[in-house]
């Protein structure tokens, strides 16, 4: 499958602009319309991310003002209100691009969304939270057997970020932020640019429901873990597919020094994109897993390490 780029996706940008009729409605969209033939535009950042490799946008009224008119023009005025995955094909590359709308947080009742157990978020348990970043999620992505393989970027699919429990319960519900996926793609690009080939950046743990997260509190999981908010992932490079970190620094050992190769890429990405700043922590191998790096986009810098 061809690898999408901003230039190859430019026909999609132009088509979306024409379909949305939004060129005069928003200055950023108008500027994008003038550059739809290629290069970086504000709409590229809005739809395809800073990496240029996003293949889906999670649409909400508060976070996606530019995407909403496009979504409604393409799929109807009710699209923002009806949770689902709305996909179009890029005729230039054959690659899909999806708009994903959310099931409202208010649909959660007694710690469940439908039959899927999620538990309760920190803000539901106390009157005060440490910051806005710890507010309840706006809503949930409804993941089904049919849409779980929806690409959210060149390297990742919805199923990569699902909580690892309730295997037989469908639909499942997911909280995920575009910024996390974009940052992971930028980290892959940076590793490649600095000589580390990445065929697969494996997500060991993405979204964790509060219920699932609570099972590990006191055993390595934070009570207010960012994983509950859809902006964190524990990752490792696994090009050989053995389920463990590869020897990234070529010292013939697999340990946290390999995780620190990824950490160096995170540092460079955050310097170039301070709006994606967040936490990064190295974790050593155990009997259950190899070493890995935690990455998040919480909005302020945090660093920690084990091993």
pLDDT at 295: 98
**pTM for the full model?**
0.87
Residue 298 has what pLDDT?
96
Distance between CA atoms of 19 and 133, rounded to whole angstroms?
34
Give the bridge partners for 232, in sequence order: 296
Q: In what order do the strands lie in the sheet with 292-296?
A: 201-205, 232-237, 292-296, 279-283, 302-305
In this structure, the number of other CB atoms found within 10 A of the CB of residue 72 comes to 17
Pairing state between β 116-117 and 112-113: antiparallel
Who contacts 118 (Cβ-Cβ below 8 Å, separation ≥6)?
108, 111, 112, 140, 173, 209, 210, 211
Would you give per-residue pLDDT tens digits along the chain (307 residues)?
Answer: 233 333 344 544 555 555 444 333 433 333 334 433 344 444 445 678 899 899 999 998 787 777 787 788 778 888 888 999 999 876 555 678 899 999 999 999 999 999 999 999 989 987 677 788 899 999 999 999 999 999 999 999 999 999 999 999 999 999 999 999 999 999 999 999 999 999 999 999 999 999 999 987 656 667 789 999 999 999 999 999 999 999 999 999 999 999 999 999 999 999 999 999 999 999 999 999 999 999 999 999 999 996 5
In order of 127, 152, 158, 270, the CA distances from 147 in angstroms are: 36, 11, 8, 32
Helix (H, G, I), strand (E, B) or coil at 96: strand
Query: Pick from 224, 225, 221, 254: which is nearest to 237 by CA?
Result: 254
Closest C-alpha among 124, 22, 116, 7 to residue 73: 22
């Amino acid at each position: 499958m061809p690898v999408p780029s901003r230039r190859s996706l430019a026909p999609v940008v132009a088509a979306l602009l024409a379909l949305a009729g939004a060129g005069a409605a928003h200055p950023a969209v108008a500027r994008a319309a003038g550059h739809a033939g290629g290069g970086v535009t504000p709409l590229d950042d809005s739809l395809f991310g800073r990496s240029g490799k996003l293949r889906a946008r999670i649409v909400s009224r508060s976070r996606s003002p530019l995407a909403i008119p496009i979504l409604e023009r393409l799929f109807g005025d009710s699209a923002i209100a009806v949770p689902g995955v709305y996909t179009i094909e890029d005729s230039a590359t054959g690659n899909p691009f999806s708009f994903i709308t959310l099931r409202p947080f208010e649909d959660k009742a007694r710690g469940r969304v439908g039959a899927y157990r999620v538990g309760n978020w920190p803000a539901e348990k106390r009157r005060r939270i440490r910051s806005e970043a710890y507010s309840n999620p706006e809503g949930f992505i409804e993941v089904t057997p049919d849409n779980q393989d929806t690409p959210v970027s060149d390297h990742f699919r919805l199923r990569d970020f699902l909580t690892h429990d309730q295997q037989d319960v469908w639909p499942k519900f997911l909280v995920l932020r575009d910024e996390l996926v974009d940052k992971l793609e930028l980290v892959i690009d940076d590793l490649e640019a600095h000589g580390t080939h990445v065929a697969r950046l494996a997500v060991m743990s993405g979204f964790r429901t509060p219920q699932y997260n609570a099972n590990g509190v006191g055993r390595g999981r934070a009570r207010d873990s960012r994983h509950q908010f859809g902006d964190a992932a524990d990752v490792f490079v696994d090009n050989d597919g053995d389920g463990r970190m590869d020897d990234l620094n070529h010292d013939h050992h697999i340990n946290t020094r390999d995780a620190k190769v990824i950490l160096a890429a995170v540092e460079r990405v955050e310097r170039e994109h301070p709006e994606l700043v967040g936490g990064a922590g190295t974790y050593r191998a155990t009997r259950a897993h190899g070493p890995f790096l935690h990455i998040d986009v919480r909005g302020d810098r945090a660093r920690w390490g084990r091993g």
